[in-house]
Amino acid sequence: MQQRLPSQLNPPIAFGHRGAKAHAPENTLEAFELALKLGANGLESDAWTTSDGIVVLDHDGVVKSFGRKKPISEVSRAKLPSYIPTISEVFERCGTAFDFSIDVKDDHAADGLVRESRNAGFDLQKLWLCHHRIAKTLEIRESHSDIRVVDSSRLQRIKEGPEMRLALLAERGVDVLNMHITDWNGGLVTMAHRFSRLAFGWDVQFPHALNDAFRMGLDAVYSDHVDRLVDSYSQEIGHLPRR
């Protein structure tokens, strides 16, 4: 059996992707609550801003209205389907004892996410704002010094190579490089840690992949299958604590 490499984040985070996507309708209050009940110590979602400035959580950012699709940015909160929650409603339903990873799909959502999290009494050091464009990632870092910032990418998209990217993240204070699980190996995780950056892996669905993810020392893992995620965490690391 492969010896487990040390994580830099202790304990690592087990993120329920879109709540507990494999167990309940994704990005709903029910899914978020269930993920925590199943043992996840982190939640993941995607953020958008409505036409009246309310931050809501949804993956695609579009809703059907009178038979056609409209972006959430053109719809008021009152006219959205009831299953789409605001970030404030998540805190009201689930409390604040978890890490929260949020993909900033709407560039206007970052300020509202930080504001609403602060108003809810959420520990901003447990708020991880992710973006897939490095320029926007750096902009979020410059605008918000009290949260965690995540560069979400794929290895093939990092044209300068992972070492140069990690050096940039370290220089600019971006906390995390987040890549698909198939992009990571033990050597790359060790490289990230050498730059004092955290390494997160997403789309980790099956027991063997989950076990490998924890053994290579990833600091956080995202999975739809929270039951499998918690089982692998317990097997490879030990009892999964609530943060």
- Tens digits of residue pLDDT in 141-186: 999 999 999 999 999 999 999 999 999 999 999 999 999 999 999 9
CATH number at 56 reads: 3.20.20.190
For 35-55, the pLDDT digits (tens) are 999 999 999 999 999 999 999
Write down the residue that tokens 């978890």 correspond to: 98
For the question of whether the overall pTM of this predicted structure is more than 0.85, the answer is: yes
d(C-alpha 11, C-alpha 195), whole Å: 19
Structural domain containing residue 65: 13-236
4 domain residue, yes or no: no
223 domain residue, yes or no: yes
Residue 223 CA: distances (Å) to CA of 95, 193, 206: 21, 22, 9
C-alpha 217: how far from chain center: 17
179 domain residue, yes or no: yes
Q: How many domains does the structure of the chain reveal?
A: 1
184 domain residue, yes or no: yes
243 domain residue, yes or no: no
1 domain residue, yes or no: no
Q: What is the pLDDT of residue 3?
A: 75
Exposed, middle or buried by CB within 10 Å (0-12, 13-18, 19+), for 220? buried
C-alpha 90: how far from chain center: 15
Task: Compute the average pLDDT of residues 115-129.
Answer: 98
Cα radius of gyration (the chain): 17
Residue 1 has pLDDT above 70, yes or no: no
Task: Please tell me which residue, 237 or 126, carries the higher pLDDT value.
Answer: 126
141 domain residue, yes or no: yes
21 domain residue, yes or no: yes
